[in-house]
Amino acid sequence: MAAEIHFGTDGWRAVVGDDFTYENVRAVAQGVAAYLDGESRPVVVGHDARYCAELFAREVARVLAANGRSVILLDGVTPTPAVSWTVVQKGAAGGVVVTASHNPMEFNGLKYKPDFGGSASPEVVEELEKNTVKALSKGVKTMPFEEAVSSGGVTLLDPLPSYCEQLGRMVDLPRLRGAGLKVAHEAMYGAGAGLIARVLDGGSTAVTELHGERNPGFGGMHPEPIDRYMPEAMALMGEGRHDVLIANDGDADRVGIIDETGRYVNQLEVMALFTMFLLEKRGERGDIVRSLTTTGMVDDLGERFGVTVHELPVGFKYIGACMRETDALLGGEESGGFAFRGHIPERDGILAGLLMADMIVEYQQPLSEILEHLFALVGPHAYKRDDIRFDRDGYEKRKADVYKRMQKDAPKELAGEEVIRTRTDDGFKFYLEDGSWALMRMSGTEPLMRVYSEAATPARVDALIGALEQHVGVRVGPDGTARE
């Protein structure tokens, strides 16, 4: 049904063979073609390493070509940030990426990237959805893929040489290659496989890659670069033989970091480290843009170094727009997506990983000591996120019911601390008098409730998350599912 095709915080995602079908993919492609009606600039189409991703990309390409759009089809598995860069580099009207990013293996999806290479605005998404509904009822235009190629409507391109050149403009790659670092790369069977090794090859720096082969089932892994989903990477770093581990999700727009001691550096710490690195070590200045799920440490650093920090709802459609408006230095969100001035206003997990390695070189300290330096500036911080999974059937009603209940009965205190401010434009975030915070929000792409907190100690974080889950009336069971 047309109603089942809607875009969440970053594109449309669905279960392959259920809602994610050739028919529905063609309908979304027709919706993109209608949105770009009258455009003479080409459209870029790329895909990740998921099941049949290249076949779905061909469906998108042949629908666009049948509608008179000139298509640049990227030849082979491509990270989403490389697709976005190609859109900019080729002066394209936009781009379509076949990917479900960090979602489990049974999912696939489509992302639309406008001509600036970032995430589509809510207004663009609304038009794409309307066009898709129309395509489902009135049909789509298609042509055989081979005919689209032979007629010149679809041309193939390897985007990686240009993308790697751009990485070299953002990071001093010759210096990194000669730094003698021992870098580990957890590719998670995703689209970023081989890229860290490719750009760092040729010097004394050595790269060890984990899970670099293509495996649409992700070897049973959940392709999200956080500690609980990458036990082999954690074990490798616990051996003490590498300086840093860079992990990327399924389409390589997110990053996860493990330091030389085997400690997972959580995404809030990573955001604060990038902020400190750019402001303190590199001496750059500019606004910082962050999602409401990320860290107050960035605010403290902004005050220290005299830059403005913007807190926005979750989604790079908001963060990227603010970055473009303010020429921001850095944008980031709690999920491990970071964007940097001079590149695309969009997450790039490969670039973020390289910049973390560059940070080690510039500070001339192990990552664990750089992190201690951060805490010396901003004080101790702890963080945690609970993911509470619901059944897919009935999730939207459950989501509406929870939000309605919270609107009527928001807590005035949590774990004994007074709530001094509440934000309700993206879930419910409660700011407490001691500077800590807790947040509950329902996912727009998966049947999940996420409960977050940041405070001075892990014990305090646990207390705040427990108090908020109790107030909502939902708690996480041993298997990660909701318990009433």
Domain boundaries, the chain: 2-161, 382-483
Q: What single string gives the DSSP state of each residue in 371-439?
A: HHHHHHHH---EEEEEEEE--STTHHHHHHHHHHHHHHS--SEETTEEEEEEE-SSSEEEEETTS-EEE
Asked if residue 68 lies in contact with residue 114, where contact means CB atoms within 8 angstroms, the answer is no
Give me the sign of the Cα torsion angle 304, 305, 308, 310: negative
Alpha-carbon distance of 84 to 92, in angstroms, equals: 10
* Domain 382-483 listed as CATH 3.30.310.50: yes
Same fold, 2-161 and 382-483: no
Segments of the chain with pLDDT less than 50: 1-3
pLDDT, position 483: 60
pLDDT, position 1: 43
pLDDT, position 478: 64
Tens digits of residue pLDDT in 105-162: 999 999 999 999 999 999 999 999 999 999 999 999 999 999 999 999 999 999 999 9
Q: What single string gives the DSSP state of each residue in 38-71?
A: T--S-EEEEE-SSTTHHHHHHHHHHHHHHTT--E
> Rounded to the nearest 5°, which phi and psi values hold at 338?
-135, 140
* Domain 2-161 listed as CATH 3.40.120.10: yes
Ordered strands of the 413-414 beta sheet:
382-389, 448-455, 437-442, 428-432, 417-423, 413-414
Q: What is the pTM of this model?
A: 0.93
- Coil, strand or helix at 210: strand
Tokens of 481: 């599912």
Alpha-carbon distance of 63 to 93, in angstroms, equals: 16
Give me the sign of the Cα torsion angle 344, 350, 354, 355: positive
Exposed e or buried b for every residue in 283-300, given b needs 16+ CB within 10 A?
ebebbbbbbbbbbbbbbb
Alpha-carbon distance of 408 to 149, in angstroms, equals: 57
Alpha-carbon distance values, 453 to 132, 205, 338, 420, 467 (Å): 38, 37, 20, 15, 11
pLDDT, position 480: 62
pLDDT, position 208: 98
Of 227, 232, 272, nearest to 367 by C-alpha is 272
Alpha-carbon distance of 319 to 444, in angstroms, equals: 16
pLDDT, position 2: 42
**Angle made by CA atoms 391, 100, 107, in degrees to the nearest 5:** 45
Element (H, E) at 479: none
Of 424, 393, 391, nearest to 407 by C-alpha is 424
Residue type, 77: V
Tokens of 312: 């926005």
DSSP type of residue 160 = H
Alpha-carbon distance of 340 to 278, in angstroms, equals: 10
